[in-house]
Every structure is written in structure tokens, then in C-alpha cells.
Structure 1
Amino acid sequence: MSRPLLMALHSSSETFGVAVQDPLLPQEGPRVAVFEDGRALSNTLIGRVAALLPQERWSDLEGLAVATGPGGFTGTRLSVVMARTLAQQLNCRLIGVSSYALMAARLVEQLPPEQRRSPFWIQRELPRRGWVAGCYLRVDGSSIEEIRAPHLLPSGLRVEPVLAAEEDVAADVERLLALLGQAHSLGTAAPWQSVLPLYPTSPVGPV
């Protein structure tokens, strides 16, 4: 049985990442590319994706995955909207994973060995807003459970053990693609309607 055509998108930082599993290239691993487009992504998004997977093949996609943030409002929204639209039109699986949950699989290795099986936090300070943090647990091997999605911590609250959020979009978008592959192989239901961007500092309340 040939592998399905799958694609993952990550735009929760100034770097945009795309990863593709292509059944037409069975001898190769995932194709991964990152682009330092920043705010110009609104003009380059379609072209960047097409550079890895030509538009005429998008109709063959059997699954999509997208990083849901937290991140820049415009960048995160662009890739989430694109993924939702494609999944709706193609009636295919779509999974959304927070950028912190993707980091967690890497960053947990920074903890002392005796703490790697206990809950830990990842956080980032936003100027004039406070700390955005999420809580994670390594369940088995590299599997990560998101106990608390990234959210704005109440003023003065401190959490521990805590790790600083660190970007590695190439590694994280490749992990996102792997998670999509697992969901596809298990036949996990993944409707596009439930995938929404995370905006922890939204003035209208939590998402």
C-alpha cells in the first residue's frame, strides 16, 4: 500500500515551515522547507506551499496538519485558514497542534532525567502582556500530552519546572507531519471544524 500524500504547515513565528510526505518519492523521507518571510507571508504563503507541493496535486491530499499557535495573529491565522479551507474542500483529515506542544518533545530533554516523567511548563514572556505558558507531560517515548494549552498566566503566578520556549520550525513541522501520519494510520477522526488558532492574549477572552 502506498503512503498517503500528507502536508503540515507551521507559521506560529516569523519563520514559515512546510513539510510534505509524498508517495511519489517513496525512497525519500519527508520534504521540509522553512522560509523567513515574517509579515510578508500574506503575500508568499501560496507560493511557498506550492514550492514543495505543486497546486495541481493539492486535490490528492489525504491529510493536513497545522500549528495552531500561540504566535503572531496574522501568521498563525493564515496557515490555519488555509489548512481548514483545504480540508473542508477535500473532505480530508485535519489535525491542529499547539506550537508549544510541538516544542515540548524537544525541550523535555533539557530537564534532569528524574523530572522527565512529570508535568512541566513551557513559557514565553510577551512585552507588556505577561507570560504565556502551557503544561506538558511526556507519556511514552516521544509522545507528549498537553495538560494545559498555552494561556496567559495570572499576574504574579509562577510555575515550575519551567522551560523557555525555543523555536526550531524545521524540527517542529516535521514532528507535526509525523503526528499527522500517526493519526492517518490509526484512522483517527479529525474534523476541520475543531481546528482553531490559539490567541492567549485575546481581549475578548480565552479561545
Structure 2
Amino acid sequence: MPYEVTNHNKLTLAIHSTDDSFGFAYRENKNSLSENFFTKKFEKDLCNNLIVDFSNFITKENLKRINKISVSIGPSNFNASRQIIVLARTLAQQINCSLDSFSSFELMAKRIATQNNIYIDKNSFWIFKKLKRRGYIAGKYEVCISEKANKNITIKEKIIPKIFEELTDTESSYQAEYSDIEDLKELLNLSNKNSQHSSSNTWEKVLPLYPISPIN
């Protein structure tokens, strides 16, 4: 049965995976200091460990407080992406809450833009991941600076990560860099922005991003 969520101290839950790890985080929607994180490297039995670790991470009382879930859809480890999205979809359906989804590259885009001062002399760039057998996975991102919000940087995903045989714009291309905690924080931040714009997404539309087959 769906949990009844009160209006007091609601939580946003984030679920994320990289090439070799997964993690959870939650935050009270109006309290940025209330964050709680869990990250772990993959083990052989990821399916069972994922459920056990999630059950140990969040209490039943906090589970009842969730009114929004935010999940990364890849590109990352094939099996992990599939399993965390199944978990996120199941929770969103049972709790009857909104489910936001973002590519893994979009989560790291603001961090990469800031570290490389991309916003100073150009406003778009690529994030890429070299494949073992052929080509690249790459996505394109645009830097937007808000004059109304103290010149805060926001990122728009112009091209979702997909397969390219070659990188044509090598001067504006940066290698993907996963960061468990920072990516989880960005999942929470982006989901919070959706809430401010009254954006609500249903679990049925959230699917893994699979640019390549598992054998790659």
C-alpha cells in the first residue's frame, strides 16, 4: 500500500551508480544541511546487496517522508544502471511520488565546467568516455549564467550521451569523471529545481540510458 506523506519535513531521495559503485542520499526539501549519504563499491551479488544496503540506509519513518525520487540513468555500469532504476521505479510507484531522472554526464557537467573555467571563454562543451572496443560515448552541454541569480551557473543537456566513432571537437571535450558524493548532491539539486518549477515526472517514463550493449 502507498505510504501517506505528510507536509512536514518531506525528503528527496537520490539513487546513483557509476562504473564501479552505487550510492543513496536523502535531503529534507527545505534544509540543505540535512543530507545523508551512502556509497559502496560493487560486489558480486549486486542485486541482493542493493536491497539490503538500501534497507539499512533509510528507516521506515524516513521512507514515509519521501515525496520525490531522483535517479541517474547512465551511462555507467550496465547491470547497476538497470537495477537502480528498477529500485527507483518500484519505490516511486509504491510511494506514489514523482521520479526525476538525469544522465550521469549531466550530473558531472557543472563540476567539469567550473573546474575548467569553461564559462569564461565558451558556452558549450562535450563530455566523453572512451570505449574499450570502438569509439566514444559523448554528450553535449551548454553553460548558462543567470544574471538574476548572482551569476549562478546552470547546465543544459543539448545532446544526451550516445555513440560517436570519433570526437570532432577535441578542444572542447572533457573526459567523464564520476564522483559518488558530488553526483548524488547534484541529483538532489536538480530534482529540487524541478520542484521549484512545479515539474512532476512519473516512474513509467524513466528508462536506463544504454548507448552500448553490455559486452562493451
Q: Same fold judged by TM-score > 0.5?
A: yes
> Aligned partner of 2:205: which letter?
S
Q: SS at 1:48's partner residue? A: helix
**How far apart in 2 are the matches of 1:104 and 1:120?**
9
Q: How does 1:133-148 map to 2 (within 5 A)?
A: 133-140=138-145, 141-148=152-159
CA deviation string 1:73-125 (max 9, x = no partner): 11001111111111122221100000000010100124345656511000010
Q: Which residue of 2 aligns with 1:12?
A: 18
Following superposition of structure 1 onto structure 2, how do residues 101-120 of structure 1 map, counting pairs within 5 Å? 101-113=106-118, 115=120, 117-120=122-125
Question: By how many angstroms is 1:136 displaced?
Answer: 0.3
For residue 198 of structure 1, report the CA deviation from its aligned partner.
0.4
Whole-Å Cα distance in 2 between the matches of residues 179 and 139 of structure 1?
15
What is the count of residue pairs matched by the alignment? 201
Q: 1:177 to 1:38 in 2, by over 3 A?
A: farther
Does residue 70 in structure 1 map to residue 75 in structure 2? yes
What is the rounded CA distance, in whole Å, between the counterparts of 1:184 and 1:3 in structure 2?
A: 15
SS at match of 1:62: strand
1:12 and 1:68 in contact (8 A); partners too: no
Instruction: For structure 2, list consecutive stretches of 5 or more residues without a partner in the other structure.
Output: 1-6, 146-151
* 1:10–1:17 CA contact under 8 A, matched in 2: yes
Q: Which of 117, 124, 127 is the equivalent residue of 1:122?
A: 127
TM (norm. structure 1) is 0.86
Q: Structure 1's 63 and 114: CA in aligned 2 closer, same or farther, altered over 3 A? A: closer
- What letter corresponds to residue 158 of structure 1 in structure 2? T
Which SS does the other structure have where 2:34 is aligned? coil
Is the CA contact (8 Å cut-off) linking 2:127 and 2:173 kept in structure 1?
Answer: yes
1:178 aligns with 2:159: no
Q: Is the 8 A contact 1:5 1:22 kept in 2?
A: yes
SS in 2 for 1:109: helix
Distance in 1 between the 2:116 and 2:24 partners?
29
TM-score by length of 2: 0.83
Give the root-mean-square deviation of aligned CA atoms.
Answer: 2.4
Task: Write out the 4+ residue segments of structure 1 that deviate beyond 4 Å after TM superposition.
Answer: 112-117
Partner amino acid for 1:4?
Answer: K
User: What runs of 5+ residues in structure 1 fail to find an aligned partner?
Assistant: none
Aligned to 2:102: 97
Report the 3-state secondary structure (helix = DSSP H, G, I; strand = E; otherwise coil) of the residue aligned with 1:51.
helix
Query: Could you tell which deviates more after superposition, 33-42 or 75-84?
Result: 33-42
The CA distance in 1 between the partners of 2:143 and 2:121, in whole Å, is 7
